[in-house]
Chains A and B, each alone.
Chain A
Amino acid sequence: MPAMRVAVSFAGVLKRFGAFTALDGVSLDIGEGEFFGLLGPNGAGKTTLISCLAGLARVDQGSIAVLGHDVVRDYRTARRLLGIVPQELVFDPFFTVRETLRIQSAYFGLRRNDDWIDEILHNLDLTDKADSNMRRLSGGMKRRVLVAQALVHRPPVIVLDEPTAGVDVELRQGLWRFIRRLNQDGHTIILTTHYLEEAETLCQRIALMKRGRILALDSTANLLARFSGHALVLQLAEGQCLPEALRSCCRAVRGREVELALERLDALEGVLAILRQAGVTVADLRLQPPDLEDVFMRIVGVAEATP
């Protein structure tokens, strides 16, 4: 981890629900100002970890601190430092957008917060909905309000739990522009998402979780370098088939298209030599760069790419 002040620290966090171990000794430090990704399949423990951080769930063992403040012993300070965008699309149907944000501000002791509320509304493209009742908003709009609620008290640490689930492309782009700006202003961002390309584009570091454990923790670049390789996609000519020697590195077959895994770029020459030697005619070929989905599949092992 880069040398920086720790924004969020998880130390040996264990959480059980009856006989089920949701978090199995998670230890992790997230630096101040980082854009951090928390990835894993459903049931990996990401949301439980965030719930423990937010004080919605209590850890059975271990401790969690936000900027040095324990989330149990010093919960009021810790919660002031956190802004959490929940995964579920929840809202209070009695209030307008502006009332919702004013009430949320007041929960944090902020009485006169309209300038910042206006700025958030503007950045999330909600200004013309400020006086609309929450019930009248579309799902995407409600999601934006959830983001706004998490930001009303200008928390230095912002946690986004699947913030773009079910959200249209335009909002997603706008939301990330705003979150990026907050990150550039020094806010620490912790993101869980199922959209791996989002994590790959946005996150400086990533933790991959499965069954309550962290399986991999590194910078996005290192993870891509360590666990992913390039993919060589071949379009075989009519009647041609893949030589036996290349079957072990075959990831997928789609009609005449074959996808081969390349651990390193210099393996390309060897593959082409085998094809030449076997007399296989290739109609087209293209090289695909490493991606996080590949890393995810390899580490988490949710699914196997089969030839």
Chain B
Amino acid sequence: MNIGGSGFAALFYKELLRFWRVAFQTVAAPVLTALLYLLIFSHVLEADRQVYGVPYTSFLVPGLVMMAVLQNAFANSSSSLIQSKVTGSILFVLLPPISYAAFFWAFVAAAAIRGLVVGLGVWLVTLPFVPVAPLQPWWVLLFALLGGAILGALGVIAGIWADKFDQLAAFQNFLVLPLTMLSGVFYSIHSLPTFWQAVSHYNPVFYMIDGFRHGFFGISDVAPEQSLAVVAACFAGLALLTLALLKRGWKLRT
């Protein structure tokens, strides 16, 4: 799949510039939200509560960072697409000779980058309150990149599927938000009843959060290799599906 010289660089750059132009909304706001989560949860639950033998607030930070990565990656590709569809400016990327593969990778890469930028922001603003540094940074980077790419690809599908903002909000609120909130961001799944522990293993976001957290503490609910396999398989499946839809021109070319 050759995407060199196919419009990838231009579309990727445009997508980066697009979210950077409104950085208060796309970066600063989610960082502040995550910080508020941390302050409120740490105020309510601090005391001597520990998970994996680390203080709860330290345990919480990687989850909040990864949740920010995932939600913002999804928001980037989906909102860019729905907005350009609603305003009609999607024409500007449909008329040039941009291949469907370049289209996919540009949106996914830009979404992952926004996720990483917001995630980095969340980590940096929480540092003064809860100084947590990754023990194994490569796991952190790998899961953040793959998680951002998965949610970026999901955002491409949602952005193309939705005809109005209301439909996109439904996708986000009834699928993405529950998947991320119920994935172990705020807790270890070992604290759940057996049934819900089993259910959590069917949530791919759980593996993203768990693997990411492993990079910080070297401890996780499942082995990071297993999480990586699940996450990589999810990305491969979603990428193939999205590429097939783009190749068909699904909901973009009549």
Interaction A to B: yes
CB closest chain-B residue, reference A110: B10
Q: Is A91 part of the binding interface, using a Cβ–Cβ cutoff of 8 Å?
A: yes
Q: Is A92 part of the binding interface, using a Cβ–Cβ cutoff of 8 Å?
A: yes
Complex contacts, B11 vs chain A, CB 8 Å: 107
Q: Is B99 part of the binding interface, using a Cβ–Cβ cutoff of 8 Å?
A: yes
The 0/1 profile, CB within 8 Å of A marked 1, for residues 1-26 of chain B is 00001110111011001100110000
Interchain nearest-CB distance for A95 vs B (Å): 7
On whether the beta carbons of B95 and A54 are closer than 8 Å, the reply is yes
The 0/1 profile, CB within 8 Å of B marked 1, for residues 86-99 of chain A is 10101111110001
On whether the beta carbons of A58 and B21 are closer than 8 Å, the reply is no
Interface size class of B (residues with CB under 8 A): 20 to 34
Complex contacts, A55 vs chain B, CB 8 Å: 94-95, 253
Of B6, B7, B21, B92, which is within 8 A of A149 by CB? B92
Complex contacts, B193 vs chain A, CB 8 Å: none
- 29 A-B pairs (CB sep. < 8 Å): A55-B95, A56-B95, A56-B253, A56-B254, A58-B253, A58-B254, A76-B97, A77-B97, A79-B95, A79-B97, A82-B95, A84-B95, A86-B88, A86-B91, A88-B91, A90-B88, A90-B92, A92-B18, A92-B84, A92-B89, A93-B87, A94-B18, A103-B10, A103-B13, A106-B9, A107-B93, A107-B96, A108-B7, A149-B92
Q: Is B178 part of the binding interface, using a Cβ–Cβ cutoff of 8 Å?
A: no
On whether the beta carbons of A107 and B98 are closer than 8 Å, the reply is yes
Q: Is B137 part of the binding interface, using a Cβ–Cβ cutoff of 8 Å?
A: no
* Interface size of A in residues (CB-CB distance below 8 Å): 31
Complex contacts, B5 vs chain A, CB 8 Å: 109
Interchain nearest-CB distance for B217 vs A (Å): 39
Q: How far is the CA of A94 from the CA of B92 in the complex (A)?
A: 13
Of A58, A84, A88, which is within 8 A of B88 by CB? A88
On whether the beta carbons of A57 and B96 are closer than 8 Å, the reply is no
On whether the beta carbons of A104 and B92 are closer than 8 Å, the reply is yes
Complex contacts, A79 vs chain B, CB 8 Å: 95-97
Complex contacts, A76 vs chain B, CB 8 Å: 6, 97, 99
The 0/1 profile, CB within 8 Å of B marked 1, for residues 31-67 of chain A is 0000000000000000000010011111000000000
Of A56, A80, A82, A99, which is within 8 A of B91 by CB? A56
Q: Is B249 part of the binding interface, using a Cβ–Cβ cutoff of 8 Å?
A: yes
Complex contacts, B14 vs chain A, CB 8 Å: 103
CB closest chain-B residue, reference A100: B92
Given contacts A17-B254, A57-B253, A107-B10, contact A75 B22 (CB under 8 A): no
Complex contacts, A99 vs chain B, CB 8 Å: 17
Nearest 9 CB-CB pairings of A with B: A106-B10, A90-B88, A107-B96, A76-B97, A79-B97, A57-B254, A92-B89, A94-B21, A107-B7
Interchain nearest-CB distance for A53 vs B (Å): 11
Complex contacts, B89 vs chain A, CB 8 Å: 90-92
Complex contacts, B97 vs chain A, CB 8 Å: 75-77, 79-80, 107-108
Interchain nearest-CB distance for B61 vs A (Å): 32
Which A residues between 193 and 232 are near B, CB-CB below 8 angstroms? none
Q: How far is the CA of A295 from the CA of B187 in the complex (A)?
A: 76
Of A56, A58, A104, A153, which is within 8 A of B94 by CB? A56
Q: How far is the CA of A64 from the CA of B42 in the complex (A)?
A: 64
Q: How far is the CA of A76 from the CA of B17 in the complex (A)?
A: 25
Interchain nearest-CB distance for A46 vs B (Å): 16
Interchain nearest-CB distance for B104 vs A (Å): 15
Interchain nearest-CB distance for A181 vs B (Å): 23
